[in-house]
Amino acid sequence: MPSPSSPSDQRCAKCVVVFLLALLTAGYLNAGEKDAVKSGDKMSEAWKQVADSDGVVICRRVPTDSALEEFRAVGEVDAAPSSVFALVNDPEAYPHFMPYTSECRVLQRFESGTVTYQRLDLPLVSDRDYTLRSVYSRAEGADGATYFIHWAQANDLGPAPLPDVERVKVCRGSWVIEPASLGKSRVTYTVCSGAGESLPACLSGLGSRVAIRKIFAAIRKEVRAPQYADAKE
């Protein structure tokens, strides 16, 4: 059995970190779907559940036209949708609560979104960075408003690559925040990413569980802050 400091363990740890990066930085652009892919969808296989812990259900699928896996996480947050939206739509606060985020600068604001530059400080591997263009919207329903945030990489709108930082080239994603019972929110976070390094399939389940639990735990804690808890629709 290899020792904890063996090269094989170090490679495994590095792969886990890179997979956490993929889950933290990206998503699938059409994350508003409410159920598994409809039968006959030629773009992707059906969602398959791979984890259910800490009140978060995680599913996975693979597009037929891509080598990148997609992950979808659904969980409840004990706060109103307006509060959760105010938090995840506050990118300048990400370094204070979002795992591994060391920098997040708003480069541009427009009527329905932002352009932001973000940098991640990760253990064992070099930093990663990217520029995102995010667009938000809302839809009214019988139980209240549902909020959507969709983002995609827009590196051409941000600073030039740095020599000591690896630029993330595939970075798309979204949040869907809808009303649940007793004033809570049902939050859907669906992700698909390429972080520049391949990962063994055996690490997918572990990486998704760890990273998504961190993200949901951070949101559930930070949303209690007054500036978010008091947010109005």
Residue 180: HSE in the Cβ half-sphere, 13 Å Cα cutoff:
15
* pLDDT tens figures, 30-84: 333 333 333 334 455 789 998 898 999 989 887 676 667 778 999 999 999 999 9
Rama region for 42: left / alpha / beta (φ>0; ψ in -120 to 50; rest): alpha
- Other CB atoms within 10 A of residue 101 CB: 19
Q: Which residues contact 203 (CB under 8 A, 6 or more apart)?
A: 12, 15, 16, 19
Reported as type and span, the H/E element at residue 28 is none
Q: What is the pTM of this model?
A: 0.78
Dihedral sign from CA coordinates of 100, 105, 108, 109:
positive
Q: Are 177 and 187 in contact (CB under 8 A)?
A: yes
Amino acid letter for position 217: A
Question: Tokens at residue 43, please?
Answer: 């773009």
Q: How far apart are CA 175 and CA 206, in angstroms?
A: 22
> What does the domain layout of the chain look like in residue ranges?
7-229
* pLDDT tens figures, 124-178: 788 989 999 999 999 999 999 999 999 898 999 999 999 999 998 877 789 999 9
- Other CB atoms within 10 A of residue 110 CB: 9
Which fold is adopted by the domain 7-229? Alpha-D-Glucose-1,6-Bisphosphate; Chain A, domain 4 (3.30.530)
Percent of the chain with pLDDT over 70: 72
